[in-house]
Amino acid sequence: MILAVTMNPSVDISYHLHEFKLDDVNRVENARKTAGGKGLNVARVLAQMNEEVLATGVLGGTIGEYIVQELKKSNIPNDFLKIDKESRNCIAILHEGRQTEILESGPTLTKEEGEDFLGKFNDLLSNVSFVTISGSLPKGLAADFYQQMLTMSKKKGVPVLLDTSGEPLRKALLHTEKPLAIKPNTEELSQLLGMEVDGRISSLKHALDHKLFKGIKWIVVSMGKYGAFVRHGADDYRITIPKIDVVNPVGSGDATVAGLAVALNRNQPVENVLKTAMTTGMLNTMEAGTGSINMTKFDQYFDLVIVERID
Ligand code: ADP
């Protein structure tokens, strides 16, 4: 079973607008609301892939209740730490082929609430074979919070795929107990390293040579429609994907994380791992729902992904 962690879940609202008018009224006909936060997108895709999944994290208030109801509707088992504060809304506005996001920061947790969650996490670790940790930390928790989760996971022999950014990612990479895998995009890499990383192979190789990445077995740099660049141990791969008609790209990175987690948890060979991750990312862009894939198209798109080893 895969444990999908979302420390700061949300109700994700997406608005499709023909034109986004600033300083004016924008009326929306189709508002989509989903239980969100990156880890919940991961959990939903895991469930759609028929993987046994348990969603966890911290939530509260009426928004928290809505999230739990939505998970129940989708038959996603969940066990969250409930707090006495309101979880957040996150809004994505899709307009003119662009995406404008308005993200609430969410509740501030106390040290005790952080510790309560770590206790719960430690218990849940006993029954799972793989962990995904996605997204930002709630306010109030120290940037080394994910480090503590990595230490606990290591003690129980459970591998972790960590998909976060900024300081929590830097701290986790510097930690002695490394995540098995990370999935930054080029923007997150640039931010982490304080230098411009673009999609050129030379730029990506140079970035991943940084000492921060030492000891991370799988580094999957996702690049939207350009596929991904991957470092697995000493081997580098370029992954090319077909051109597809994108309906909603929100959550593609999370769907990629879910694909990676499933394939790694099932001990698949390298090429399959990478093809699975790209396929779930692509399938997510083809659906209107955020963090949602149609598995009936899986084989068709899996076969179109090209994995090349590069020197
Ligand atoms: P993130 O959401 O983390 O920035 P990406 O945008 O890189 O992640 O998307 C993750 C994966 O989803 C890509 O590697 C690719 O497989 C797929 N994907 C995303 N956008 C597109 C697109 N426009 N066309 C085809 N595939 C896409």
Alpha helices in the chain (DSSP H): 38-48, 61-73, 111-125, 145-155, 166-174, 186-193, 201-208, 252-265, 270-285, 298-302
Q: Which residues contact 280 (CB under 8 A, 6 or more apart)?
A: 45, 49, 255, 256, 258, 259, 262, 293, 298
SS3 185: strand
254 an active-site residue?
yes
pLDDT tens figures, 179-217 = 999 999 999 999 999 999 999 999 999 999 999 999 999
Please identify which of the residues 12, 163, 236, 254 carries the catalytic annotation: 254
pLDDT of residue 248: 86
Q: Mention the CATH class of domain 2-310.
A: alpha beta
Query: Closest ligand 1 atom to the C-alpha of 281?
Result: 12
pLDDT of residue 178: 96
The parts of the chain modelled with pLDDT lower than 50 are none
Cα 222 to ligand 1 centre (Å): 6
> Quick check: pTM over 0.75?
yes
Cα 151 to ligand 1 centre (Å): 30
Place of tokens 């990175």: 253
**What residue segments make up the domains of the chain, in order of their start?**
2-310
Q: Whose CA is nearest to atom 5 of ligand 1?
A: 224
Cα 88 to ligand 1 centre (Å): 25
Query: Closest ligand 1 atom to the C-alpha of 163?
Result: 3
